Amino acid sequence: MVTIEACQYRNVTPTTLEHARQAFADRHPQSRLQHAAARAVLPGGHTRTVLTHLPFPLTLVAGHGSVLTDADGQEYIDLLGDYTAGLLGHSERRVLDAVAAALSTLASVGGVHRHEVGLAQLMCGRFGLERVRFTNSGTEANLMAITTALMYTGRKKIMVFHGGYHGGVLYFASGAAPWNAPYDFVVAPYNDLQGTLALIDQHAGQLAAVIVEPMLGSGGCIPSAPRFLADTFAAARAVGAVCIADEVMTSRHGPTGLADLLGAKADITTYGKYIGGGFSFGAFGGTAELLDQFDGERPQGPGRRVISHAGTFNNNIATMAAGEVVLGEVFTADAAVAHTARGEELRGHVASVLARHRLPVSVSGFGSMMSLHALAEPPRTPADAAGRDDVLQELLFLGLYQRGIYTAARGMINLSLAVTDDQLSVALDALDDCLGELAS
C-alpha cells in the first residue's frame, strides 16, 4: 500500500523515486539490453517472479564468495543469499569438488545410489526425522506433504495462513491466490492465536492438515509470536489434523530448525533451498507412520494404500552429493547455531543504524534472515507489513544497490556464510549513508 502522504521527507517522493529508477537504468546499460532481449522469449524477462522490480533486474555474470558481478562489471556485496538458498556463498569448494566427483562416476541414472541414502541419513539424524523423501523444490515438498496428510486422514481441508508462502501454487499473500493448486483451504490469521483456534474448532472434523512457516519468510520475516506455533499445532493435533512445518527457509536456524526453537513439534517438516548447496532441492520428512504410506513394500489392506511419488530428478546425483557436504561438513549443527547468533548480532547492528535516523524504517526477523520495512515499527502480522510506505521501501532498495549492496526489492536480507565482518561493516555504513540521504 502506498502511503507517501505519511512521509514528510523531500527526498522521499514519487519524483525522487522516478529519478532513482532512471539513474539505475543509466548505470546498467548492459542489463537493460539483456532484459529487453529476455522479454522477447521469457514473459517478464525471467522465470522467478520474485526477481521482478523496476526498472529491470540486473543480469548477473559472476559470483565469488559473497561478491556478485553484473553485466556492466559492477560488483555488489551479496546480502540476499538467493532468498536463503545461497547460504554457502558462491564458490564453496567442498561442494563443487564433491559434485564434480559424483558426476564423473554417475550423471543421470535410473537407479538407486549411495548419495541419496547418505543425504537421507544426514537429514534424519540432524532434524530428528524417522523418514524423509526428496523432491526438486520446496513447492513440490509442500505439495507432497499436503498429499501425505490428505491420504492419511481421508479429510479435505488444509489450514494455511494469511501472508504465508509455500510455493508458486501455494501463495497466500492476500488470501488464497486464484492460481493456487485447487485444495480446500481455510485461511487463518498469522500470529492471532484466538482467531486461529476458533477456525480449528469450526473445521475440527474436516481438517486434514495445518501448514505454517515458523517465521513468514516472503511475508516479511515475521517470526511466530511466542506460543503461536506450538499452541496452533497442539490444537490441530487434538482434532486429528497433521501438523506441517514449512522450514524450507527456516531450517537454517539453530541446530534443528526454527520450529524446535519455538517449542513446536511437527508431524511433517518440509525443507529446501540451501541444503542443495546451490542445486534444486526439496524434501519432506517426519514420522514413519505418515511417511511409510510411500513404502511400496508394506503390505496393503483396507485403509492402507501406497502413495506413488515418482520424480525423475528426485534423487539426482548433483543435489544428493552437494547436500551430503552441506549438512555433513559445511553447515553442521554447531555451524548453524553460530550462524544464527551471528545473524542476531547483525540485526542488532542494523537496528542501531536505523535508530540514528528519523525515517520510518524498521527491521524484523530471526537469526540470519531479516527484512527492512518502510514502517516505524517492525511488523508483527502480515497486515502490519502491508502498511509500509512503498516509495520509501523502493528508494531504500535502489539506494543500497547504488552503494554496492545487493538485497531483495522487498527488503529481505539473508546472511550467508561467505560474508565477512569487514563486508558487513561496509554494508552497515552504506545503509547509514543511504538513510542519511533519504532523511535529509
Ligand X SMILES: Cc1ncc(COP(=O)(O)O)c(C=O)c1O
Distance CA 317, CA 102 (A): 7
Give the residue from 236, 244, 240 showing the smallest Cα distance to 212.
Answer: 244
Measured from the CB atom, the residue of 20 and 123 that comes closer to ligand X is 123
Contacting residues for 69 by C-beta, under 8 A, at least 6 apart: 60, 61, 62, 63, 75, 76
Measured from the CB atom, the residue of 65 and 285 that comes closer to ligand X is 285
Measured from the CB atom, the residue of 11 and 340 that comes closer to ligand X is 340
Q: How far is the CB of 172 from ligand X (least distance, A)?
A: 11
Measured from the CB atom, the residue of 34 and 142 that comes closer to ligand X is 142
Measured from the CB atom, the residue of 83 and 183 that comes closer to ligand X is 83
Q: How far is the CB of 84 from ligand X (least distance, A)?
A: 7
Question: Does an H or E element contain 280, and which?
Answer: none
Show the cell assigned to 344: 542476531
Q: How far is the CB of 68 from ligand X (least distance, A)?
A: 19
Q: How far is the CB of 96 from ligand X (least distance, A)?
A: 21
Other CB atoms within a 10 A radius of the CB of residue 181 amount to 17
Q: How far is the CB of 178 from ligand X (least distance, A)?
A: 19
Q: How far is the CB of 191 from ligand X (least distance, A)?
A: 16
Q: How far is the CB of 169 from ligand X (least distance, A)?
A: 10
Other CB atoms within a 10 A radius of the CB of residue 78 amount to 25
Q: Are 70 and 60 in contact (CB under 8 A)?
A: yes
Give the residue from 389, 357, 356 showing the smallest Cα distance to 373.
Answer: 389
Q: Which residue has the cell 492476500?
A: 174
Measured from the CB atom, the residue of 55 and 168 that comes closer to ligand X is 168
Measured from the CB atom, the residue of 90 and 166 that comes closer to ligand X is 166
23 sits in the region (left: phi over 0; alpha: psi -120 to 50; else beta) called alpha
Q: How far is the CB of 67 from ligand X (least distance, A)?
A: 23
Contacting residues for 96 by C-beta, under 8 A, at least 6 apart: none
Measured from the CB atom, the residue of 309 and 357 that comes closer to ligand X is 309
Q: How far is the CB of 247 from ligand X (least distance, A)?
A: 8
Distance CA 253, CA 337 (A): 7
Q: Tell me the β-bridge partners of 63.
A: 68
Distance CA 434, CA 440 (A): 10
Q: Are 83 and 413 in contact (CB under 8 A)?
A: no
Measured from the CB atom, the residue of 69 and 280 that comes closer to ligand X is 280
> What does the binding site for ligand X look like in residue numbers (CB under 6 A)?
83, 137-139, 142, 165-167, 213, 217-218, 246, 248-249, 272, 282
Residue nearest ligand X by beta-carbon distance? 138
Q: How far is the CB of 33 from ligand X (least distance, A)?
A: 28
Measured from the CB atom, the residue of 246 and 260 that comes closer to ligand X is 246
- Mutual orientation of helices 114-127 and 317-325 as an angle, nearest 10°? 40
3-state secondary structure 38-70: HHCCCHHHCCCHHHCCCCCCCCEEEEECCEEEE
